[in-house]
């Protein structure tokens, strides 16, 4: 190949390369774009029991856990229930049936179907601090039978199961 031809070939290639660069410069660059994504999350107020049951034994200081009708004063008993609520959630407690209700004789052959009224109340409840480990709260359940209601009651054992409702 002659040197003139080689020189022309190189000049031609250089011109093609320069044209390609010029053409690339003439094509606009692709523009970047952005979008906004909003992430929403809603934590609801929830309360759950950690204790599934408890027993309130009502007494007025009689022998053991009994009611002595010769003593004065109301008969009371307490139990605690463990619960958790979402952080900042205030719990509400109520019984089904509603308080006051009655306890019914459960000793066959002694007190028949006699009943005594009992009031159930809750104390010590605290606003929830979360559902995680170490966030357990306690509420005290108190049962009260007035002296006027047990002073003439028939001898025997009286009982009633109540459902405690916990609401946020």
Which residue is associated with the tokens 């250089």? 14
Q: What is the pLDDT of residue 4?
A: 46
DSSP state of 30: P
Q: What is the pLDDT of residue 22?
A: 53
Residue 128 lies in a domain: yes
Rounded to an integer, what distance in angstroms lies between the CA atom of residue 18 and that of residue 20?
5
Are 149 and 75 in contact by the 8 Å Cβ rule? The answer is no
Burial bucket for residue 67 (CB in 10 Å: 0-12, 13-18, 19+): buried
Residue 98 lies in a domain: yes
Residue 87 lies in a domain: yes
Residue 78 lies in a domain: yes
Q: What is the pLDDT of residue 158?
A: 95
**Which residues form the domain of 160?**
47-167
Name the nearest CA neighbour of 147 among 80, 61, 57. 61
Global pTM reads 0.77
Q: Total domain count for the chain? A: 1
Q: What is the pLDDT of residue 28?
A: 67
Cβ-based neighbour number of residue 85 at 10 Å? 24
Q: What is the pLDDT of residue 108?
A: 79
Residue 107 lies in a domain: yes
pLDDT tens-digit profile, the chain (168 residues): 555 445 545 455 555 455 555 545 556 678 899 999 999 999 999 999 999 999 999 999 877 789 999 999 999 999 999 999 999 999 999 999 999 999 999 987 888 889 999 999 999 999 999 999 999 999 999 999 999 999 999 999 999 999 999 999
Are 120 and 145 in contact by the 8 Å Cβ rule? The answer is no
Residue 93 lies in a domain: yes
Task: Residue 142: give its domain's CATH number.
Answer: 2.60.40
Residue 12 backbone phi and psi in degrees, to 5: -65, -45
Q: Say if residue 152 is preceded by a cis peptide, omega within 30 of 0.
A: no
């Amino acid at each position: 190949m002659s040197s003139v031809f080689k020189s022309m070939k190189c000049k031609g290639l250089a011109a093609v390369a320069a044209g390609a660069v010029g053409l690339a410069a003439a094509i606009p660059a692709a523009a970047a774009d952005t979008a906004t994504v909003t992430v929403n999350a809603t934590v609801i107020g929830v309360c759950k029991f950690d204790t599934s049951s408890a027993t309130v034994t009502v007494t007025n200081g009689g022998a053991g856990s009994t009611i002595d009708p010769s003593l004065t004063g109301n008969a009371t008993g307490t139990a605690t229930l463990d619960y958790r609520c979402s952080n900042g959630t205030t719990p509400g407690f109520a019984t089904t049936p509603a308080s006051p209700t009655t306890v019914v004789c459960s000793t066959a052959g002694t007190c028949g179907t006699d009943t005594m009224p009992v009031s159930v109340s809750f104390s010590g409840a605290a606003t929830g601090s979360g559902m995680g480990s170490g966030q357990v709260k306690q509420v005290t359940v108190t049962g009260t039978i007035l002296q006027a209601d047990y002073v003439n009651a028939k001898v025997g054992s009286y009982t009633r199961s109540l459902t405690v409702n916990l609401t946020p």
